[in-house]
Amino acid sequence: MMATGTDLKSISQARLKTAEILMDAGDWHGAAYMLPYALECALKAVICKTLHLTAYPDNEKSESIRAFFTTHLLIQLLVVSGLQDVFSPTGAQEPYQHWSNFTIEFAGNWPQMRYDLKRMQQFDETKVRGLHFMLTDPTHGIITQIEKGGKW
């Protein structure tokens, strides 16, 4: 069963809550993994709305379509979501800075970080709280901008 945009929005919100629970428990590595997961699902929810898809096509029969949509590359998802203008250096500076500073930590195939202990150890309390703020800052946070714009 393919996830709908509404499902992906709910998953995004749940993964953000999971990250907050892990932060409260002092599990900085686990929280660091959940934060980009929340963003990925938020962007995929926006893609569903932007492209008028009833469900996110991650198990499409066509390999080229499936490969395009099963990506974990946040920058690719940003482009397909149509939100580049929101998080562009030519747009408002604060959302762009949050996007830039957040995604630099999760470049490439970020889910692979779960297998890299040295990489996971770089996520301490200060860094994880900062990353969380970049997503949830009430004024300029990445997910806040998606919510404010009614993009999902």
Q: Give residue-wise pLDDT tens across range 102-151.
A: 999 998 889 898 899 898 999 999 999 999 999 999 999 999 999 987 88
Query: What is the span of the domain harbouring residue 114?
Result: 5-148
Q: Give me the number of domains the chain comprises.
A: 1
Q: Give residue-wise pLDDT tens across range 43-68.
A: 999 999 999 998 888 776 777 777 77
For residue 34, the domain's CATH number is 1.20.120
pTM score: 0.92
Q: Produce one character per residue of 86-112: b if its CB has 16 or more CB atoms within 10 Å, e if not.
A: bbeeeeeeebbebbeebbebbeeebee
Return the SS3 of 61. Answer: coil
